[in-house]
Amino acid sequence: MELLQKRILQDGRVLPSGVVQVDSFLNHMVDPQLLFAMGKDIAEKYKNRRITKVLTIEASGIAIASFVAIALGVPFIFAKKQKSNNLDGAHHTASVYSFTKETEYEIRVAKKLLEPTDSVLIVDDFLAMGSALSGLCTLVKSAGATVTGCAIAIEKAWLKGGETVRETGIPVYSLAKILEIRDGIPLFAEN
Amino acid sequence: MELLQKRILQDGRVLPSGVVQVDSFLNHMVDPQLLFAMGKDIAEKYKNRRITKVLTIEASGIAIASFVAIALGVPFIFAKKQKSNNLDGAHHTASVYSFTKETEYEIRVAKKLLEPTDSVLIVDDFLAMGSALSGLCTLVKSAGATVTGCAIAIEKAWLKGGETVRETGIPVYSLAKILEIRDGIPLFAEN
């Protein structure tokens, strides 16, 4: 998606660690017009796939999921990362390892929210090693529901997380697929 | 706001602990049409106040902030709850006590995102004791910016958090202001 790729080049910053910092428009401050356009683009891609629910993970997937869900006209769920006193009843859970935060955590979705008849579109801001995406796929399968596809804002393709998911037959659509960082500049795959 | 109040009565659940559970449409699964309407309603209330940025706190404020921000045509920021390796540079910080999770945590916003000229609308899903709201006000003041107002989905008025903020002269607009829970049923203030 040209709009997002241009914005990454204009306002993003690549840290020496390889982190692509997009905190002025995507995952700390958020430009709602950009995300509205991203949501429309993703919805267009999946409009004929009979999506019944969008699923993401707190926190930075929530804004994108909001705009995908409104464009598709379906509810979205955000998987929670911690146990909370407000969550009663049974949950589907999965384990996710965060390479950024160097810690493993549990994600959970209340069982009542996912049904076997659901056709789920998983949405997230970043796809790197694919640990969060795999965890979300596990949650959907635990519910007996179907992962119909995934949509990602920024994929770091060289970390192979997307490849792993695609090999299982699940389509993964990335708005900005970065093939490599060369001299501090992201090089995007052609859409 | 009648639409939200009706939805709380229809799909919400009051736990014996007094927790108002709205996880099927507001803070775990989210109904984007409802939130779109809520965003429009809040934007209408503050449209003449020259808001430049919406501020919320991760995670469950993000969906509401998304729809308020798109309706107002301004960016939104979500304060982060944990230290993260992706956050470099200087931050404004404040301490927040969560009565639900019985723990104190730090919230932070990158200094570069808030400027003294900013007129900020603070948005959140719940207002109870007001600890999160006070923390967000502190962050805005640290930046030398102005808290022009607050907008809340559900206020538990008997816990007095809203009263405390209103006494400082900051307007707090709540879409569903619950005066008390009587026999397990929320009683709303008239709008």
Rounded-to-10 torsion of CA A5, A156, A151, B23: -110
- Domains of chain A, by residue range, sit at 2-188
**Model confidence pLDDT, tens digit, residues A123-172:** 999 999 999 999 999 999 999 999 999 999 999 999 999 999 999 999 99
Answer whether B33 sits within 8 Å of A70, measured CB to CB.
yes
Nearest neighbour of B75 by CB, restricted to A31, A75, A85: A31
For residue A18, pLDDT over 70 is answered with yes
Say how many C-beta atoms besides its own lie within 10 A of residue A18's C-beta: 12
Share of chain A above pLDDT 90, in %: 88
Residue with tokens 């965003």: B39
> From CA A169, how far away is CA A172, in angstroms rounded?
9
Strand partners, A126: A154
pTM (two decimals): 0.95
- Measure CA A14 to chain center: 20
Mean pLDDT value across chain A: 94
Cα separation values, A65 from A121, A173, B77, Å: 10, 14, 16
Complex ipTM value = 0.94
> By C-alpha distance, which of A42, A36, A110, A44 is closest to A79?
A110
How many angstroms away from the CA of A125 is the closest CA of chain B?
14
| Cβ atoms within 10 Å of A184's Cβ, excluding its own | 10
**Helix (H) / strand (E) containing A41:** helix A32-46
Question: What's the full length of chain A, in residues?
Answer: 191
By CA distance, what is A24's nearest residue in B?
B113
Using a CB-CB cut-off of 8 Å, the residues of chain B touching A113 are 23-24, 28-29
Percent share of chain B, pLDDT over 70:
96
* Between B82 and A76, residue with greater pLDDT: A76
> CB B144: neighbour CB atoms within 10 A?
11
Q: May I ask the CATH class of domain A2-188?
A: alpha beta
Query: Could you read off the pLDDT of B150-190 as tens digits, one per residue?
Result: 999 999 999 999 999 999 999 999 999 999 999 999 999 98
